[in-house]
A and B are shown apart, each in its own frame.
Chain A
Amino acid sequence: MRTQPEPTRRAFLAALPAVTAGLASPAAASQEEVPRWGMLIDTRRCIGCQACTIACSMENVLPEGQFRTSAATYAVTNGKGQTGMSMLPRLCNHCEEPPCIPVCPVGATFKGKDGVVLVDADRCVGCGYCVQACHYEARFINHDTGKADKCTFCSHRVEAGLLPACVETCVGGARVFGDLNDPASTISRRMQAAQGKTSVLKPEAGTRPSVFYIGLDKELNGRVQGASATEMMWRPNQQGA
């Protein structure tokens, strides 16, 4: 038996009693096999509502204008002149080969046994080297703390048997969080069902992300060759929140 519930909303509600029991006996956790957390994002289900962006900001008390996750929105026009909307939710990829770890001069960034890449805020000096090294613009220097900040897969919630805030709030159920080591987990089953049609951001970077996508447009999986409607961008510092 796992200490964490099956990580979908429905499974989460169904497993609430188990969560309570699990919390009551934390010692049992040490005997369990270590999970490897990952996320699967079905871009076809994302409607770009930014509920994930706001839920993350509220949960992690982020400074105004700084985000650990967001959903970029693109208007893609094909050769026939037909235009459609594409969404790309982004967050820390919790890479298997994270380039942010070797550059950290004080070893503040580390990867836990569960695959989650975290920052030891007591040790971090705010030098910003990891911000440069990240291929995915997942990191930033927090205005309030002056230290490196990023998505933690809401590790404080996951340890308590809850889902990450972005997953729990996702309107379209686009984000699936779970244990990649458990073949019976929803994320593993969904990835199996996708029959290898999942992809990752910037595979050429060789970072082996733990965040996978279904329906990811190849033209959007890194730096995008296209125009930017910058005048429509939300920039709280310039336009007010």
Chain B
Amino acid sequence: MNTTVEILGFTREPGWLPWAVQYFFLIGISAAAFFISLPGLAWRHPEWRGVSRRALLAALVCGLTAPVALLADLHQPGRFLNFYLHPNLQSWMAWGSFFIPLYLFGLLLYAWLCLRPQLAGLAREHEAGTRLAKLYRALAYGGHDNRGAIRVAAVLAALGAVLVLLYTGMEVMVVRARPLWNTPLLPPLFAVTAFAGGLGMTALFEALSGHRDSAPLLNRWAARSQWAVLALLAAWLLSAFTGIAPAAAEALASLRGSVSWRVTLGSLVAVSVLTLWVARKRRDSLVLMALLALLGAWLLRWALIMGGQGIPKMGATFRSYYPTLTPDSALGIVGTAGLFLTLYIVLTSFVPWDESTQAAGAAS
């Protein structure tokens, strides 16, 4: 048997930068958080009313931040116009350029319809004639709590959210050149980790706004989502070890000699198990579960997207990605976090997200 040493090789830099990880992370969380907002806001389930409001806030903050990261990954944001001028409908990415605005339009419409009574209440609270009162009154547009319209908007946004979750998974899955990505388990894995992250983000917002009574409910669902994540990871490993899925087997074979990949895969499982343990054992705690769930969702995307691009398609050389202090790397991640924080501050400063304000707005 021959042994081979690559003396001189040429590795490629990643074509998708950390911007892409941020996009996949945020848009997935947004779509999941939107679904978490439905029981309380569309169906008015009493147990979910408060949680659903913070979930809607999470969906808005993440949903408005995500496309900025995506535009930044194009190197020149104005290029996005070509997606609409010359769409190639064979490409999942081209479909994504239509699904994103559909989802965001539906989400904004749904959020506005849900917030109208509250905005009307705020207009009354402020001194008549002030700019803020006028703005709230204009935004409330009568302040009517139209359940039928909310449900219609919810259907539109739900369609957009499903399509966004579908295309983000399929876009990566169809890349046959990367066996690690080329598995039918990838779209459900992205979707399930998005839900885990969505629950984590909602829990974080609950904790930040001092609503801890929802902790048992969120921890119950967080535990379920982590069981699903672990089941999908186990299914992938099983398909790779048994050879049922040739691409998964090939991916595992390519990673076998890599210590860093063993650490990565171990970390993914460990974070998921730890989140599960925390969710089950500390049912009244929110922050730790939230941070672990968010870490797990982000880590999976980082490992698959940035790590996956480092596995050689040709030759023998792995190319590890190390974040640098440049706009397309670590500063991009910091910038995305900055935009996220700004939107959170703006939305929580001008629109209270607790139930008492909603009740006051609806009653008056």
Give the interface of A toward B (CB within 8 A). 48, 67, 70-79, 85, 90, 99, 102-108, 123, 125-137, 139-141, 146-147, 201, 205, 219-220, 222-230, 232-234
Please name all residues of chain B whose beta carbon is closer than 8 Å to the beta carbon of A128 when the two chains form the complex. Answer: 14-16, 73
Beta-carbon contact of A233 and B315 below 8 Å:
no
A79 to B333, alpha carbons, bound, how many Å? 49
Beta-carbon contact of A229 and B5 below 8 Å:
yes
Beta-carbon contact of A76 and B314 below 8 Å:
no
Beta-carbon contact of A226 and B87 below 8 Å:
no
Beta-carbon contact of A137 and B312 below 8 Å:
yes
Q: Which of B5, B74, B312 is A223 in contact with, Cβ under 8 Å?
A: B312
Q: Which of B79, B92, B313, B318 is A228 in contact with, Cβ under 8 Å?
A: B318
Beta-carbon contact of B4 and A227 below 8 Å:
yes
Is B1 interfacial (CB-CB < 8 Å)?
A: yes
A226 to B54, alpha carbons, bound, how many Å? 52
Size of chain B's interface in residues, with CB distance under 8 A? 51
Is B80 interfacial (CB-CB < 8 Å)?
A: yes
Beta-carbon contact of B9 and A79 below 8 Å:
no
Q: Which of B94, B177, B316 is A132 in contact with, Cβ under 8 Å?
A: B177
A145 to B97, alpha carbons, bound, how many Å? 23
6 smallest A-B Cβ distances: which pairs? A128-B15, A131-B15, A146-B75, A226-B4, A105-B94, A105-B93
User: Could you list some 13 contacts between A and B, CB below 8 A?
Assistant: A74-B5, A75-B7, A107-B86, A129-B93, A132-B177, A132-B309, A137-B312, A140-B13, A223-B311, A223-B314, A227-B4, A227-B6, A228-B315
Beta-carbon contact of B177 and A99 below 8 Å:
yes
Please name all residues of chain A whose beta carbon is closer than 8 Å to the beta carbon of B12 when the two chains form the complex. Answer: 131, 137, 139-140
Give the interface of B toward A (CB within 8 A). 1-16, 73-76, 79-80, 82-83, 85-88, 90-94, 96-97, 171, 174-178, 254, 309, 311-318
Beta-carbon contact of B6 and A228 below 8 Å:
yes
Q: Which of B6, B176, B309, B318 is A226 in contact with, Cβ under 8 Å?
A: B6
Please name all residues of chain B whose beta carbon is closer than 8 Å to the beta carbon of A77 when the two chains form the complex. Answer: 2-5
Please name all residues of chain A whose beta carbon is closer than 8 Å to the beta carbon of B175 when the two chains form the complex. Answer: 103, 132-133
Known A106-B94, A133-B175; contact A79-B2, beta-carbon cutoff 8 A: yes
Closest to A145 in B: B75
Beta-carbon contact of A104 and B4 below 8 Å:
no
Q: Which of A75, A127, A232 is B73 in contact with, Cβ under 8 Å?
A: A127
Beta-carbon contact of B79 and A74 below 8 Å:
no
Q: Which of A67, A129, A134 is B10 in contact with, Cβ under 8 Å?
A: A67
A125 to B86, alpha carbons, bound, how many Å? 11
Q: Which of B14, B94, B315 is A72 in contact with, Cβ under 8 Å?
A: B315
Known A67-B10, A105-B97, A106-B94; contact A227-B316, beta-carbon cutoff 8 A: yes
Please name all residues of chain B whose beta carbon is closer than 8 Å to the beta carbon of A74 when the two chains form the complex. Answer: 4-7
A103 to B94, alpha carbons, bound, how many Å? 8
A225 to B11, alpha carbons, bound, how many Å? 15
Q: Which of A48, A75, A106, A219 is B82 in contact with, Cβ under 8 Å?
A: A106
- A79, A127, A131 — which one has the most chain B CB atoms within 10 A of its CB? A127
Closest to A84 in B: B2
Please name all residues of chain B whose beta carbon is closer than 8 Å to the beta carbon of A228 when the two chains form the complex. Answer: 5-6, 9, 315-318
Q: Which of A106, A139, A147, A219 is B88 in contact with, Cβ under 8 Å?
A: A106
Beta-carbon contact of A224 and B6 below 8 Å:
yes
A228 to B312, alpha carbons, bound, how many Å? 11
Beta-carbon contact of A219 and B314 below 8 Å:
no
A106 to B91, alpha carbons, bound, how many Å? 8
Closest to B17 in A: A128
- B2, B16, B82, B318 — which one has the most chain A CB atoms within 10 A of its CB? B2
Beta-carbon contact of B312 and A219 below 8 Å:
no
Known A132-B178, A219-B4; contact A104-B91, beta-carbon cutoff 8 A: yes
Known: A105-B91, A227-B5. 13 other contacts (CB 8 A): A71-B8, A72-B8, A73-B8, A76-B4, A99-B176, A107-B86, A125-B83, A128-B15, A133-B175, A137-B11, A141-B13, A219-B2, A227-B4
Closest to A50 in B: B8
A72 to B83, alpha carbons, bound, how many Å? 36
Q: Which of B10, B13, B96 is A70 in contact with, Cβ under 8 Å?
A: B10
